Chains A and B, each alone.
Chain A
Amino acid sequence: MSAVIDDHTQEHDHGPAGGITRWLLTTNHKDIGTMYLIFSFSMFLLGGTFAMVIRAELFYPGLQIVEPEFFNQMTTMHGLVMVFGAVMPAFVGLANWMIPLMIGAPDMALPRMNNWSFWLLPCAFLILVSTLFMSGGGPNFGWTFYAPLSTTYGPPSTTFFIFAIHIMGVSSIMGAINVIATVLNLRAPGMTLMKMPLFVWTWLITAFLLIAVMPVLAGVVTMMLMDINFGTSFFDASGGGDPVLFQHVFWFFGHPEVYIMILPAFGAVSQIIPAFSRKRLFGYASMVYATGAIALLSFLVWAHHMFTVGIPVAGQLFFMYATMLIAVPTGVKVFNWVATMFRGALTFEAPMLFAIAFVILFTIGGFSGLMLAISPADFQYHDTYFVVAHFHYVLVPGAIFGIFASAYYWLPKWTGYMYDESLAKAHFWMSFIGMNLAFFPMHFLGLAGMPRRIPDYALQFADFNMISSIGAFMFGATQILFLLIVVKCARGGVAAAAKPWEGAEGLEWTVPSPAPYHTFTTPPVVE
């Protein structure tokens, strides 16, 4: 047993290694979390650039900047990069940094696998982005890659796209297994499940969703691969298959996937709102159960994405009502956040601003989701800009504002310095105005009948499109400001206390700022 003791003392000593090997070979959850966050932000800028191309083309009616074929590649790559490259890795980065700190663990449960999970992502996105330069161009069938657009009619690079998705899936599954093992096995003594911070709870449930549905995504792209290269007929009716099968399998993954992108944001906001309201979170237990309910329901609603494809009426009714049922646990959450703020001693630092905007704007996205859930009405909205408005309202002020709120909330813990509050407020207001300008008019465009994924449109849509583009440019440019704020904060400034926020609670605030390279090598005791 002496080996154990020797190694244990050694463990305290070694700090970060120097140079590039620190990042390539690291097993440290903080290093890996940082890499995830940096990678996520780079992908956010890349996916944002694609969005700028789209909005520039749509600024005026008519074709002026890009070819329609390239436009299709832009909409596809924008979606793929944002979903798999920006939002998901950002939350995994937050999980890496914060979960061990919040539950008093020395690191993630399986640190080497953690490193592999991260480095697979740059590899996958290298392959994905390289398809843009292949003959025939990159994926051009939308981020949902419906068959037969992606199989019979897809470009040759589709096979590379499929393997890129496989690598992302491997990365996500291993990341999720790591989170579950960490949360279930590495909690400090006394940290019972129902004492866990909500961010940890929501991530535990998110990890379960990831392990349940990423293999299904792997399955559907494998079916595509076989149809394209090996002559199978999963999605070809002339061999007895069915293109609609693709949509069923894809959305069985796809609907839980949207909760994968929002549940960790729910968790983060549930940390931040109590901190700046100087009150305990209202209805902790109901928040946990609501999160679980949302996760379970997410497996029963997938076909609401396919009402117009021609599914039996009984199926439409089932999926319509099941979808509406999700409003109940989501409502529980929204009311709990509002009740937490009620009669609190509120202050409005940047994390809180983003969190409040999250509650309001995510709810708007939820309401348009309810409208889309109504099957007969969806026949009008399907594949219009109304859908684009809906999911951008849940993803931008939902997932992405949740990430910004988390970043500002925990930046002092990461860097040891306070960020520049006035610049951060400017970042918030410009993002807030920019995104509403960009996405609110899309509701009107969609209701008036403008279809999504087209490079040109009828003249009556011109005004709203121009407003939308101006908002998008504003939102996009503002994110450079965020980069400046973070770089400035990392380089210095006012030193942050161990607990820089008066009302914040949790184990992460018991360690110094910046958090030492190794924390909780001996677990704290939670009473």
Chain B
Amino acid sequence: MPTQQSYYVPAQSKWPIIATVGLGTTLYGAAMIMVNSTQGDSTAVSWLVFAVGSLIMAYMLFGWFGTVIKESRSGLYSSQMDRSFRWGMSWFIFSEVMFFGAFFGALFYARVFAVPWLGGEGDRGSSNMLWEGFQATWPLLANPDPEAYPSPSAIIGPWGLPLVNTILLVTSSLTVTLAHHGMKQGNRRKLKIWLAATIVLALAFLFFQVEEYVHAYTELGLTLTSGIYGTTFFMLTGFHGVHVFLGTLMLTIMFIRIHKGHFSAEQHFGFEAASWYWHFVDVVWLGLFIFVYVI
């Protein structure tokens, strides 16, 4: 049963409305860029709108998080507030799980149903009539209509860079836990070393991911437009990469905060939230490694 002493209800805040304007402007700009470039119009103004929106978002993120950190450090938050943050972060991660679930679902559907049916299998094999002679294989190296979607010449094998990246990311989950232990023991040195190690591993992962993409685009002809294999490959690994980037950003901010002397052995939910997120990113990668690369 939750107990309440004085739950902190903040007074008026300008940050949410700034966030609304920022997010709206950014996305409106993004849509303008896409629509204008598809239609062959100039995108200069669109980029300007997008940039202004992004700047507002950056200002908001610094300001809003800054306010929360200041409030937290001045002792306004009770243990009950801490629980609200914990529930909030947990459910946010759950929503991210469901977002990735949609893309994993698309991958499974394509592999298990759509592509075999196009190849003539089962009740629904009639779609085979669209492109006679199409052979269903996975990975799909010959698209039904190669003129519309040029087929890739090869795909990325699992036992090179992807395996290295798996080891990097699993290790980084371990190091962030060691850092957490350091935090809880009040051992700041241990905390800093292992957190720094985590960030280095994360950056290495991102570096190899970029290298893999360059290899796929320039040498294998494996692109976003190379049919359903490229589509699912880049969307899944790409969204994962964006999340790794965000997680790295979070951990870096935590590193800076730790250097400024923030957090205590008892109260450090900001750090814990970032490490939860990091573990989540790691688990998603394991799913990716198995279902995108290995199987």
**Contact residues of A with B, CB < 8 Å?**
1, 3-5, 7-8, 11, 14, 17, 21-22, 24-27, 105-107, 109-113, 115-116, 119-120, 123-124, 126-127, 156-157, 159-160, 162-163, 166-167, 170, 173, 176-178, 180-181, 184-190, 192, 211-216, 218-220, 222-223, 225-226, 228-234, 236-242, 244-245, 248-249, 252, 310, 312-313, 518, 521-523
- B27 to A, closest residue via Cβ: A163
Which residues of chain B are near A176, meaning CB under 8 Å?
91
Tell me the smallest distance from the CB of A388 to a CB of chain B, in Å.
28
User: B108-116, B258-266, B272-280: which lies at the A interface?
Assistant: B108-116
- CB contacts (< 8 Å) of A216 on chain B: these are 98-99, 101-102
Complex alpha-carbon distance, A120 and B16, angstroms: 9
CB distance from A525 to the nearest CB of B (A): 10
Cβ < 8 Å to A, chain B residues 9-61:
9-17, 19-21, 23-24, 27-28, 30-31, 34-35, 38-39
Binds A, one of B177-185, B204-212, B221-229, B287-295: B221-229
Determine if A167 and B228 form an interchain contact, defined as CB atoms under 8 angstroms apart: no
Which A residues lie within 8 Å of B149 (CB)?
Answer: 231, 233, 236, 238-240
Query: Measured between C-beta atoms, what is the minimum distance from A16 to chain B in Å?
Result: 10
**CB distance A190 to B1 under 8 Å?**
yes
* B123–A237 touching, CB < 8 Å: no
Chain A residues lying within 8 Å of B113, measured Cβ to Cβ, are 242
Main secondary structure, interface of A, reads helix
* Docked complex Cα distance between A413 and B10 (Å): 24
Beta-carbon contact of A8 and B227 below 8 Å: no
**Out of A160, A186, A234, which one reaches B228, CB within 8 Å?**
A234
A296 smallest CB distance to B (angstroms):
15
Say what secondary structure dominates the interface of chain B.
helix
Among B4, B13, B76, the residue within 8 A (CB) of A25 is: B13
B interface residues, how many (CB within 8 angstroms): 79
Residues of B within 8 A of A8 (CB): 6
Contacts of A5 in B (CB 8 A): 6
Q: Are A163 and B28 in contact (CB under 8 A)?
A: yes
Contact indicator B124/A116 (Cβ below 8 Å)? no
Q: Nearest 10 CB-CB pairs, A to B?
A: A219-B102, A238-B145, A240-B228, A231-B225, A239-B149, A116-B16, A242-B114, A215-B99, A25-B12, A115-B16
In the complex, what residues of A have CB within 8 A of residue B225's CB?
A: 230-233, 239
Residues of B near A162 (CB, < 8 A) are: 31
User: Is the C-beta of B281 less than 8 angstroms from some C-beta in chain A?
Assistant: no
Please, how many angstroms separate the alpha-carbon atoms of A414 and B123 in the complex? 59
- For the complex, is B159 an interface residue (Cβ under 8 Å from A)? no
Residue numbers in B under 8 Å from A116 (CB-CB) = 15-17, 19-20
Q: Shortest Cβ distance from B117 into chain A, in angstroms?
A: 8
- Asked whether B144 lies within 8 Å of A239 as measured between CB atoms, the reply is yes
Q: Would A112 and B10 count as touching, CB distance under 8 A?
A: yes
Is B127 a contact of A109 with CB atoms below 8 Å?
Answer: no
Q: Which residue of A lies closest to B98 (CB)?
A: A215
Minimum CB–CB distance from B270 to chain A (whole Å) comes to: 15
> Is there a chain A Cβ closer than 8 Å to B219's Cβ?
no
B11 and A27 form a contact (CB under 8 A): yes
What's the nearest-Cβ distance from chain A to residue B56, in Å?
13
Are B114 and A7 in contact, with the CB atoms below 8 A? no
B132 contacts A by Cβ under 8 Å = no
CA distance A289 to B182 in the complex (A): 44
| Nearest CB in chain A: distance from B244 CB, A | 18
B166 to chain A: which residues have CB within 8 Å? Answer: none
Whole-angstrom CA separation of A170 from B99 in the bound complex:
12
Measured CA separation A313–B124 after assembly (Å)? 11
Is B84 a contact of A110 with CB atoms below 8 Å?
yes
- Contact yes or no, B231 A232, CB < 8 A: yes
Output the nearest chain B residue to A173 by Cβ-Cβ distance: B95
Q: Check if A232 sits within 8 Å of B224, measured CB to CB.
A: yes
Contact across chains for A156 and B38 when beta carbons are under 8 A apart: yes
Query: Known interface pairs A119-B17, A177-B91. Does A185 touch B84 (Cβ–Cβ under 8 Å)?
Result: yes
Assess the A27–B39 pair: CB atoms within 8 A. no
What is the CA–CA distance of A351 and B144 in the complex, to the nearest angstrom? 59
Q: Which of A186, A212, A240 contacts B110 (CB 8 A)?
A: A240
Contact check, B35 vs A218: say whether CB atoms are below 8 A apart.
no
- How far, in whole Å, are A115 and B122 apart by their CA atoms in the complex? 52
Contact flags B230-253 to A (C-beta < 8 A → 1, else 0): 110011000000000000000000
Which of A11, A25, A157, A231 meets B224, CB within 8 Å? A231
Could you tell me the distance between the alpha carbons of A232 and B31 in the complex, rounded to whole angstroms?
A: 17
Complex Cα–Cα for A127 and B28 (A)? 8
Q: Is the CB of B34 within 8 A of A229?
A: yes
B109 touches A242 (CB 8 A): yes
CA distance A119 to B80 in the complex (A): 26
Instruction: Name the residue on A nearest B1 (C-beta).
Output: A189
A167 pairs with B24, CB closer than 8 A = yes
Q: CA of A119 to CA of B18 in the docked complex: distance in angstroms?
A: 10
Interface pair B144/A238, CB less than 8 Å apart: yes
Q: What are 24 residue pairs bridging A and B, where the CB atoms are less than 8 Å apart in the complex? A: A21-B12, A26-B12, A105-B7, A107-B9, A112-B64, A115-B17, A116-B17, A119-B17, A156-B38, A167-B27, A180-B87, A180-B91, A185-B80, A185-B83, A189-B2, A215-B96, A216-B98, A226-B231, A232-B230, A232-B235, A239-B143, A242-B109, A242-B114, A518-B9
Q: Are B229 and A184 in contact (CB under 8 A)?
A: no
Q: Are B228 and A106 in contact (CB under 8 A)?
A: no
In the complex, A215→B140 CA distance in Å? Answer: 28
Complexed CA–CA distance, A518 and B6 (Å): 13
* A7 and B8 contact, CB distance less than 8 A: yes
Which residue of B is nearest A120, CB measured? B20
Contact across chains for B228 and A238 when beta carbons are under 8 A apart: no
A521 to B5, CA, bound (A): 9
Q: Does any Cβ of A come within 8 Å of B106's Cβ? A: yes
- Whether B88 pairs with A110 at a CB distance below 8 angstroms is yes
Chain B, residue nearest A105 (CB): B7
Determine if A109 and B88 form an interchain contact, defined as CB atoms under 8 angstroms apart. yes
CA distance A1 to B5 in the complex (A): 13
Given contacts A116-B16, A245-B110, contact A240 B83 (CB under 8 A): no
Q: Given A163-B31, A185-B80, A213-B98, is A27 in contact with B91 using a C-beta cutoff of 8 Å?
A: no
Bound CA–CA A180/B47 (angstroms): 38
- Cβ A17 vs Cβ B12 within 8 A: yes
Query: Shortest distance in angstroms between A182's beta carbon and chain B's nearest beta carbon?
Result: 8
Q: Is the CB of A240 within 8 A of B84?
A: no
Q: Contact check, A245 vs B94: say whether CB atoms are below 8 A apart.
A: no
Asked if residues A240 and B19 are in contact (CB atoms below 8 Å), the reply is no
Contact yes or no, B143 A159, CB < 8 A: no
Shortest Cβ gap from A489 to chain B (Å): 27
Indicate if the CB atoms of A241 and B114 lie closer than 8 Å. Answer: yes
Assembled-state Cα–Cα distance A173/B127 (Å): 38
Neighbour of A186 across the interface among B2, B64, B118, B148, CB < 8 A: B2
Evaluate contact between A240 and B99: CB separation under 8 angstroms: no
Q: What CA separation (Å) do A71 and B75 show in the bound complex?
A: 58
Minimum CB distance partner of B134 in chain A: A240
B213: interface (CB < 8 Å): no
